[in-house]
Chains A and B, each alone.
Chain A
Amino acid sequence: MLKYLMAKEENIPQGTAALFFGISSIAWFIIGTGIGSFNAAKLAFPDWYHGLYALQFGHMRQVHVHAVIFGWIGMAFAASMMYITPALGNTKLWSEKMGVWNCLLYNVGLCLALALLWSGVTSGREYSDHVWPIDLYIAFVMVVPWSLNVWMTILNRRTQGIYTTNWFFAACMFMTVIVFLVGNLPEFFHLTGLNEAYMTWWFAHNILGLLITPVAAAITYYIVPKITGNPLYSHRVGHLHFWSIVVFYSTPAAHHLMSSPLPEWLKSFASVEGVLILVPAVAYVCNILLTMQGKWSLFVSNIEIKFTITGVLLAIPLNMQGGFQQTRAINWYIHGTGWIVAHAHLALLGFSTFAEAASVYYGMQVLLRRKLYSASLANFHFWMLLIGFSLYWTSMTISGLIQGAAKIYEVPYVDVVIAEHPYMIVRWIGGTMVFFGNIIWMYNMVMTARCGNPIPAGRQPVEVAYTR
């Protein structure tokens, strides 16, 4: 990587930035899920490794969240955008050199940001935990150059139209910059009180709804047609998805604070808008699943499609939960319980991660021009992820329902802690499976780079057989 930092633009091979982002994202996935598994152990056995004060739960919890969001998901997105956007525009990345620098400064910034969070230097706002100097760094050093590369590549495309995936990429990067800067206004200008609390959740909701889920969807809009060879089922339904995301997904932020004393009209408005996210959700899932027509055998035989479609299928329960759990009647029961933790992991570790993993698997093969080293290891990774996630989701959902019942009947809290104990152990096992699966993935990817079978010029990875 370092040798490309000072190289001339024309001497940097195409796809370098995407490759570096891809490999970094896997590394951060291992780190993030490792910390997650560690935290889960703490919740099951609080005295298990007493004495290491640097590893206090209260300091590690947000490090896990930001390592997976910025490290894994963010970098997997950057990697995807930096090879998909040029491919769809029939051109090359606007600035490969800026991409390489972007990747380096992204990694450096993330290390610094996590080190500060780890040592307790925090703004005290969930999801916007970073202190404001770090927020500015993230916005202007990590996100803006990345966005510029995406926008300029699209403007310099050599195709007439812009494909669905690229609308999403361009718009989501724009919304991310806006949401990041507006959502952190309370820190920049020391806004206080309920305004600050509400803005915190406005930020959290929109960063998830306008960056993480739509970009993951955009990736599947590319991967599925590309590998199956089928055209996207409907461009128009894609339009419906896009516009309903912008209109319906950007408005229900207040549904995160249904039990707080926010204005009642705002809660009702957010609740109704929250149900309307079913519009983009249904449009999207139908569009992708119908694109698979006639090619369902790839769901079994092809790793990338297996990951992608599993992600899309997980988007169904995700959006059914998301649409209805924030209505007053259901929110009354499950607000602030493990149910929400399960739901958040369904979005990030379920739907989104499976789509991104597919994209990184596919992108690395295309960029390296090498077939995946081992299909068996990739299948192992897939099942570790899926079973680990399912254990996690199921145990947290059950423990959330226990908590909800205890909340309604006002059971003494320690009885909830006792009742949740077995589920905390299952959660820890699930998270640890994901962590070990990712280590295998890294090994598989490194071996692909070293000794994967070469893909002949003019061929797609899907056209080359798996040999291991």
Chain B
Amino acid sequence: MAFREYKIGCMMFGFALSFSMFVTIYLPGIDISGMSSTKVALEKQLTYGWESGFNYYDPFLQGKDKPIKVVLSKDPRTGAAIDKTNAYVFKAGTHFPNGLTHDNILGENVQAVSTSKGRIGEASEEKGGVFLVRVDADDTPYIEFATATRGWNVDAVLKASDSQSLAGSGKTMFVREGCWWCHTLLPEQTQDWQTFGRPPLVGDFNGESPTTFGSDRKAPDLLHVGSRNSSREWMTMHFFNPRLVQPHSIMPRYDYLWGTKDSEGNTIDLKAWDVEYKAYAAGAEGSIYPPEVPIPASDSEARMLIDFVLNLK
């Protein structure tokens, strides 16, 4: 620092950079953090759990440490019939999303109602529990800790459920397999309404991590894909080999996510399948239909990913 000018220069530099960070990080941070969670954000948090990218509890992104989303049509405690209800089951030890563990994520009103009516303050990660997303008379969405409010415990809910979705683990697959390099989860505000549906709102993201918007769309937006196409059969074929249902697709095959056994315990031979498929694709004599796509086992990664995609309503 031989010259006085450099001292002044360094001070100016420090001032400019700090001011830039004040305007571009601190001020937007206040605005964004002040937004209340929407119902969508509550559902997403309870579906995806704490973190879907790399984390200490699932370092290799295998879909561990995730809640299970179930559909109930009877009360698991009394057995009485109820309206179809989505419940989010956190087995003991599963980490809660930030909205349940930090006071500043849900937003003031949502936090207040979730605490008073929903009794989320009584929930603990060690014991686990069952959560619901509700809307009160003032249209404020809130989280209800059903284990406290209705006595629904984890095992009873899993037993009484009509169906179970591994969408939370599926989001981990979505991140790990890089689906978001081509499929955005962000219908644009100025167009996309007709084909891809409603763009997300500011409060739709509270507590979600990572958000995996995607930036480079090489394939359809998926934010509402489950509403456009809710066929599990179609999704299964499409993930196994997209060219089976869309001949012009450039999507990679995800057949390796099926693992070694299908849902009935039969060994999956991908090489043999590929030989048959090639014969079919080449129009070989006697090969009228493509080979059967195996049904993924209930704990396979393919099942998780399909559950995730179908859950994107």
B65 on the interface (CB 8 Å rule)? Answer: no
Q: Which residue of chain A lies nearest to B174 when distances are taken between CB atoms in the complex?
A: A124
Within 8 A of B (CB), among A363-391: none
A22 to B286, CA, bound (A): 59
A197 and B191 contacting across the interface, CB-CB below 8 Å: no
CB of A419 to closest CB in B, whole Å: 10
Q: Mark B182-215, 1 if CB is under 8 A from A, else 0.
A: 0010101111101100011110111111111111
B16 on the interface (CB 8 Å rule)? Answer: yes
B61 and A418 contacting across the interface, CB-CB below 8 Å: no
A8 to B13, CA, bound (A): 37
Compute the total of residue contacts between A and B using a CB distance below 8 Å: 216
Q: Mark A197-216, 1 if CB is under 8 A from B, else 0.
A: 11110100000000000000
A424 to B249, CA, bound (A): 13
Number of interface residues of A (CB under 8 A): 81
B191 and A263 contacting across the interface, CB-CB below 8 Å: no
A50 to B220, CA, bound (A): 23
**Given A160-B3, A410-B195: A251 and B176 within 8 A (CB)?**
no
B188 and A336 contacting across the interface, CB-CB below 8 Å: yes
Q: Which residue of chain A lies nearest to B252 when distances are taken between CB atoms in the complex?
A: A57
Which residues of chain B have C-beta atoms less than 8 A from A120's C-beta?
A: 60-61, 176-178
A122 and B24 contacting across the interface, CB-CB below 8 Å: no
A120 to B2, CA, bound (A): 50
A57 and B181 contacting across the interface, CB-CB below 8 Å: yes
CB of A401 to closest CB in B, whole Å: 14
A192 and B216 contacting across the interface, CB-CB below 8 Å: no
Partner of B210 from A53, A196, A269, A413 at Cβ < 8 Å: A196
Partner of B211 from A194, A265, A408 at Cβ < 8 Å: A194
A259 and B199 contacting across the interface, CB-CB below 8 Å: yes
Which residues of chain B have C-beta atoms less than 8 A from A58's C-beta?
A: 177-179, 181, 252
A263 and B252 contacting across the interface, CB-CB below 8 Å: no
A123 to B212, CA, bound (A): 10
CB of B144 to closest CB in A, whole Å: 21
Which residues of chain B have C-beta atoms less than 8 A from A336's C-beta?
A: 184, 186, 188, 214-217
B249 and A414 contacting across the interface, CB-CB below 8 Å: yes
A458 on the interface (CB 8 Å rule)? Answer: no
CB of B39 to closest CB in A, whole Å: 15
Which residues of chain A have C-beta atoms less than 8 A from B242's C-beta?
A: 46
Q: Which residue of chain B lies nearest to A51 when distances are taken between CB atoms in the complex?
A: B274
Partner of B246 from A51, A160, A414 at Cβ < 8 Å: A414
Which residues of chain A have C-beta atoms less than 8 A from B20's C-beta?
A: 246-247, 250-251
A66 on the interface (CB 8 Å rule)? Answer: no
For the complex of A and B, the 9 pairs showing the least CB-CB separation, nearest first, are: A58-B178, A124-B53, A124-B210, A259-B188, A124-B175, A131-B54, A120-B176, A193-B205, A192-B209
Partner of B16 from A246, A253, A341 at Cβ < 8 Å: A246
B105 and A193 contacting across the interface, CB-CB below 8 Å: yes
Partner of A61 from B178, B184, B200 at Cβ < 8 Å: B178
A215 to B31, CA, bound (A): 33
Which residues of chain A have C-beta atoms less than 8 A from B211's C-beta?
A: 193-194, 196-197
A403 to B217, CA, bound (A): 9
CB of B251 to closest CB in A, whole Å: 7
Q: Which residue of chain B lies nearest to A265 when distances are taken between CB atoms in the complex?
A: B31
